Amino acid sequence: MVFLLTGLNRLQPASIWGHLCFGRWMSQTGDLPKSDPFAAETTGLVEKFSNVPWLPQRIGFWFYQTIGMESLIVAHSMLAVIACGVMMATIVLRGVPAWGGVAGGLIMYLISFPAIGILRPQLLGLVGLSLVLLASGQILRRLHPLCWLPVVMGLWANCHASCILGLGVLALGVVSDAIDCWWNTGRAAKRCSDKVVRRRLWLFLLCTLAACLNPLGTNLLLRAVPLWIGPALVDIPARRPLDLVSLSGILFFTSLLITAFVIRHSRRRFRPVDVLLLTVFGVLALTSPRMLGWWGIVWPWMLLPHACSIWWPSGNAEDDSVEDDSADGQLGRSAVRTLFAMACVFATLRWAPASQALISNDHRGLAKITASDTPLYVAHEIQRRGWEGTFFCPLDWSDYLMWTTQGAVKPLAYSHVHLARADTLRDQLRISQGDPEWLRIAETYDLDYLVICRRRNDALRRLVEYHPRTDIVYQDDIVYQDEQGLVVRLLPRGA
């Protein structure tokens, strides 16, 4: 179900194309970028440039180059399946019945859909956080997380700056067990101190060292937070606080009401880590809709064991300090189940549009795999006519125009807003909203063209189309237009 639903999502005009541009640049140069090679306005000091997801950018471009565009949609679906599958296993290993684990994975998919529904490196972070929660439970009984989780953390640090969240979860686990040790007395506290706290502390230290194995080194841990909440991001709609009346807001506050009910009736002990994780990730979810994806992972992992204790009080209701060993054998194996599972996988691969296209080698074309808002014809016309220079473009169109024109279009800003200067991003938004000073701003940045979306930049379109004839902009310099957008050439002063 997760594979099929995710495969129905089309490639959005933002984000993925910008990452592919970086992947193509690195493939052509054989080096990592030291500064932004695409934006019209530089990011300032070179040493502050942070292109963290270089690894998925290279791999994504290799997939595109080797297999084709359909492979990106299949990879998108597989990442969603892995994230949900790991979450299901993690919940089941906490002593929850198998159907509860499946429900937890689907709940995670529903709440995190704003993040899962778009192909971007953040998806790898969702997989990483699910594996961190899995290791946090297993480390109480097994030592193998000390071997594989640092490897996961090292890869995560080269894929997305959200690795700081994984380290935060591990740190909160150490703090939680330390609080338990302080709260208890006698031998129980000594055993907890020797076995649990030390294991978690070693896991945290090894993962922290592994996270430093990236091109930025320890600087990544220092820059991770500014990459999300820097001053350049305050005016981006997707980065604003959660809207109470939006779908994301309704999902979040519904989950809070369910949490209040479960806290009131749960027969299991709420550990300090439960309270800490709910508080930290709840506050993060309030700051931005994009942060809701992390809440969608932590919330079902924490809540389902307590919810099950309400309806099945005979289970391990009193103490959750040790995971349930009997959970390992809940999902029995048999030849019939294996054959049924293989049949489901085969049928899904044949029904899903992207995987079917790969199997039959019958690719559907850009029009069928890209979102309807993608500026296909505008980009084709810019490429055909060989226009190049500095452009104003809608923020989410810029990436696709950069990709199509091989970097000939230098946008004022694009979806990698963490690379933009705060004043540049604000000027981008002022032009987009039809500020009366749009012409002065365009002159400040020596813009050559304006690419205007009719639906979202209507105020700017009216200002441009009915601008009086001056020595700067002429009405007949609308060099291309269609139902979706128009391209306006800005003549230099005195031309």
DSSP β-bridge partners for residue 389: 409
Asked whether the predicted pLDDT for residue 163 surpasses 50, the reply is yes
The more confidently predicted of residues 173 and 289 is 173
Asked whether the predicted pLDDT for residue 47 surpasses 60, the reply is no
CA–CA distance, 10 with 300 (Å, rounded to integer): 27
pLDDT band at 213 (very low <50, low <70, confident <90, very high): very high
Provide the mean pLDDT of the chain.
Answer: 84
Model confidence over 442-455: pLDDT tens digits?
A: 988 889 999 999 98
Asked whether the predicted pLDDT for residue 470 surpasses 50, the reply is no
Predicted local distance difference test score (pLDDT) of residue 225: 65
pLDDT band at 45 (very low <50, low <70, confident <90, very high): very low
pTM of the entire structure?
Answer: 0.88
The more confidently predicted of residues 477 and 151 is 151
pLDDT band at 4 (very low <50, low <70, confident <90, very high): very high
CA–CA distance, 490 with 495 (Å, rounded to integer): 10
Query: Average of pLDDT values for 135-157?
Result: 93
pLDDT band at 343 (very low <50, low <70, confident <90, very high): very high
Predicted local distance difference test score (pLDDT) of residue 231: 46
The more confidently predicted of residues 295 and 247 is 295
Asked whether the predicted pLDDT for residue 170 surpasses 80, the reply is yes
**φ, ψ of residue 449 in degrees (nearest 5):** -140, 155
Pairing, β 449-453 against β 485-489:
antiparallel
Predicted local distance difference test score (pLDDT) of residue 493: 58
Q: Of all residues in the chain, what percent carry a pLDDT higher than 90?
A: 44
**φ, ψ of residue 389 in degrees (nearest 5):** 130, -160
Predicted local distance difference test score (pLDDT) of residue 467: 62
Predicted local distance difference test score (pLDDT) of residue 344: 92
CA–CA distance, 20 with 199 (Å, rounded to integer): 40
CB 426 within 8 Å of CB 415 = no
Residue 196 is given by DSSP the state I
